[in-house]
Chain A
Amino acid sequence: MHIPDGYLSPVTCGVMYATSTPFWVVAVNRVRNVLTHRTVPVLALFSAFSFVLMMFNVPIPGGTTAHAVGATLLAIVLGPWPAVLGVSTALAIQALFFGDGGLLTFGANCFNMAIVMPLVGYFIYKVISSDSDAMSPRRTIGAIIGSYVGIVAAATCAGIELGLQPTLFHSINGTPLYAPYALGVALPAMLIAHLAVAGPVEAVVTGGVVAYLQRTHSSLIKADAPQKKEGKVWLLWGALGVAALATPIGLLASGTAWGEWGVDELKTLGLGFIPEGMQKLAGWWPAPMPDYGLPRMAAVIGYILSAFVGIVLIAFLIWLLGRWLSRKNQEKSDVSTEGGPLEH
């Protein structure tokens, strides 16, 4: 799933960097608050682990081998935000040092594998395991399903990014300038490969590691203290997901990709804002590329893409607002909460 340079247009690369940056900023701040001075050594070691994990050859039926990404696994053990940074770092070393994934496409690769994948995977894991204890089989099942859905969501994003290229970026006589396959080819190709091969590999590895950690290092899969408000937060996320799917987007991806985002923080959520934002951005999106003579199809896809970016941006703004409000409340009541060394 590592997209090399040359497959995506510079505009797409820019958009993907811009989409990933707020996640990195949030991740750095969250991790710094919890780990304080430990941030650098803890993340360095787990990034190194993430890199090693991506090198493991996993035997698959038929005598060949495949690689796992391990983003969901990292999110389960470290928490979602440290996982975002850990996998991003591992991807940076792969891109810089080994030419595995491009430098311009780094933003897109990180969005798919270091942001969407751990956040989606972790969300599913949390929903399934919820407040079960560390040894519960629900955690293993959550890890298996979460990692499977996580990698499929990541592949969906990659498929969309690649599939948009020929529609949005072609010369006057219709020659695709970057990845040549349209959405109708690129998306199914990515999905089939990941539903059938990479997904099961990811699920088996993640499930196997979590099951073994439960037996031998259960402190790494520590049971989180059940939070009172949790049920309500899931409900809100669910409602937001349904609302997003109900919009005439018809793309599975936008439902799963962002839906994960900032799971436990999003306490104040105004659903009414989303459609407005999407419409506003939809008009804005095709404008930067008038030179390419956008056909109607491209406008539709531009709409979808902008909806996707719009949802992410607006969810981010609302989340920031919620965070600011809750911090204000916290300052008032003067309650300090102490986090463990590893965030959950």
Chain B
Amino acid sequence: MKGDDFLTKSISGFSGLLETVVSTEDISHRKGLLQNLDPRIKLVSFLLFIITVSLVHSLPVLGVIFVLIFLISSASKVSPGFFLKRVLIFVPIFTLLIAIPALFLTPGQPLMNLAGKVTITQQGALSAGFLLLRVTNSLSLGVLLILTTPWSNILVALRWIRVPAILVDILGMTYRYMFLLLHSTNSMFLARRSRVIGSFSGSENRRWLGRALATTMAKSQRLSEDVYLAMLSRGYQGEVRVLNEFSLKRRDYVWMTFSLIAIVTLFWVGHL
């Protein structure tokens, strides 16, 4: 079965993705701290926080930021286990692997000697710490933003920060049709899986994959024609109209004030 592993892998990849999306949608509709905020204020403040994370030059401050993010996520009814699992599993572990050689390769004052042979430098250790904490913090912020904001509201916020309307429209529609295509490719993989008894060579599998992708591509093309005609018949004139019924409330101002104070403080302390 080794040769057909990629089928199983792809199928579980697709369903894993759908699971992520469903749980995200679920959390974004709970009544928590971040869910109650205006999406525009939230997007801007989170971007500012991510920039702060990338500008601060102090490990303790980066650590404090992570604790802060964690506290805010708890106040937003995101279960700590779920949050940590989603944040810590992939990117930080990958970054850890990348950061380890930097301990030894970065030139500088020796900090520790391992087995009398290799030396960990002070600069190396600091640098690895920076990388790891920055990546974890930025990712946590991104995940928290998307967990607490429905996709349609993110689009409204993107429009508000002057991302061209045409790009936002494409983004919105892509997200919608992505699931349709994922569903149809998933069916293709399942059908293939259920018909396969023995195992195929890698090259046969790759050929099949090429055919599956080409078919999906032709389907997308066909579908885009149909979708266009459907849009046209519903009165589409080249512009997507969206309802924007958001208005800033007092809690949004409170959040913005808190964010700005936090950012300035972190920046000031972290830059000393």
Footprint of B on A, CB under 8 Å?
Answer: 4-7, 9-10, 13, 24, 28, 32, 36-49, 51-53, 55-61, 63, 65, 73, 77, 85, 89-90, 92-93, 95-99, 102-104, 166, 171, 173-181, 185, 204-205, 207-209, 211-213, 216-217, 220, 341-342
Contacts and interface: CB of A to CB of B under 8 A. Distances in A.
Nearest to B218: A217
A38 B122 CA distance: 57
B79 interface: no
Contact of B220 (A49, A85, A92): A49
B20 interface: yes
B131 A63 contact: no
B255 to A, nearest CB: 19
Contact of B127 (A40, A77, A177): A177
Interface string B210-237: 1101111110110111011001100011
B219 to A, nearest CB: 8
B50 A51 contact: no
Given A4-B91, A209-B213, A39 B166 contact: yes
Contacts of A220: 217-218, 221
Given A41-B231, A44-B177, A45-B177, A180 B106 contact: yes
For the residues of A in contact with B, the DSSP-based class is: helix
Contacts of B20: 98
A6 B135 contact: yes
Given A32-B166, A212-B210, A216-B218, A180 B95 contact: no
B197 interface: no
Interface of B: 2-3, 5-6, 9-10, 13-14, 17, 20-21, 24, 47, 50-51, 53-55, 57, 87, 91, 95, 99, 101-102, 105-109, 122-124, 126-128, 130-131, 133-139, 142-143, 146, 151, 154, 164, 166-167, 169-178, 180-182, 185, 202, 205-207, 209-211, 213-218, 220-221, 223-225, 227-228, 231-232, 236-238, 240
A48 B228 CA distance: 15
B54 A204 contact: no
Contacts of B237: 37
A175 B109 CA distance: 10
A40 B169 contact: yes
30 contacts: A4-B135, A7-B135, A10-B55, A28-B164, A37-B238, A38-B228, A43-B170, A45-B181, A45-B221, A55-B10, A56-B10, A56-B209, A57-B6, A58-B209, A59-B5, A73-B217, A96-B146, A99-B87, A99-B142, A102-B138, A166-B127, A173-B122, A174-B108, A175-B127, A179-B131, A180-B124, A208-B211, A211-B210, A217-B217, A217-B218
Contacts of A59: 3, 5-6, 202, 205-206, 209
Contacts of A4: 91, 95, 135, 138-139
A92 B6 contact: no
Nearest to B123: A175
Nearest to B92: A4
Contacts of B21: 97
Given A6-B131, A173-B109, A217-B214, 10 more contacts: A6-B134, A10-B55, A13-B54, A49-B216, A58-B209, A59-B202, A59-B205, A104-B50, A176-B127, A341-B225
Closest 9 CB pairs of A and B: A208-B210, A6-B134, A5-B138, A44-B173, A6-B135, A180-B102, A45-B224, A212-B214, A47-B174
A276 to B, nearest CB: 33
B82 to A, nearest CB: 14
B127 A180 contact: yes
A102 B138 CA distance: 8
Contact of B154 (A44, A47, A96, A212): A96
A41 B227 contact: yes
A71 to B, nearest CB: 13
Contacts of B170: 39-40, 43-44, 47, 85, 89
Given A42-B228, A52-B216, A185-B105, A178 B178 contact: no
Given A6-B131, A56-B213, A175-B108, A49 B166 contact: no
B46 to A, nearest CB: 8
A168 to B, nearest CB: 14
Given A104-B138, A179-B131, A209-B213, A58 B105 contact: no
Contact of B178 (A41, A48, A58): A48
Nearest to A24: B167
B131 A7 contact: yes
A46 B214 contact: no
Nearest to A49: B220
A207 B228 CA distance: 29
A117 B129 CA distance: 32
Contact of B130 (A10, A51, A77, A178): A178
B202 A9 contact: no
B17 A5 contact: no
B57, B138, B178, B205 — most chain A CB neighbours (10 Å): B178
A180 B211 contact: no
A77 B217 contact: yes
Nearest to B10: A57
A48 B172 CA distance: 10
A55 B167 contact: no
A99 B85 CA distance: 13
A49 B238 CA distance: 22
